[in-house]
Amino acid sequence: MAEAFGFYADNIVTRDYLDAVLRSGFGEHDRRLEQIEQRLEKLEPLRIQTTLHSFMLGLIVLVQVVPQLQVWLAP
């Protein structure tokens, strides 16, 4: 096998080593994703508040801007 790959034969990664490295890497990513999910769960009240504010701004536009546009665009 060393003859087939030249002097790079010592650098070939075995399946066991690759599995171990990938599992450790995926474990680290899983921990990071869990931390991100925990932070996002804390933001749920903020999302509700943002929705309420968006509704209130829409209502202000409807009450103030639309009548003014009707006055400006009336013949």
pLDDT in tens, 51-75: 999 999 999 999 999 889 889 998 7
pLDDT in tens, 11-28: 677 778 778 877 887 888
Q: Is the pLDDT reported for residue 2 higher than 60?
A: no
Cβ neighbours of residue 12 closer than 8 Å, sequence gap 6 or more? 5
Q: Is the pLDDT reported for residue 32 higher than 70?
A: yes
- How many angstroms separate the CA atoms of 57 and 65, rounded? 11
Report pLDDT for 11: 65
The DSSP-derived string for 11-53 is: GPPPHHHHHHHHHHHHHHHHHHHHHHHHHHHHTHHHHHHHHHH
pLDDT bin (cut points 50, 70, 90) of residue 7 is: low
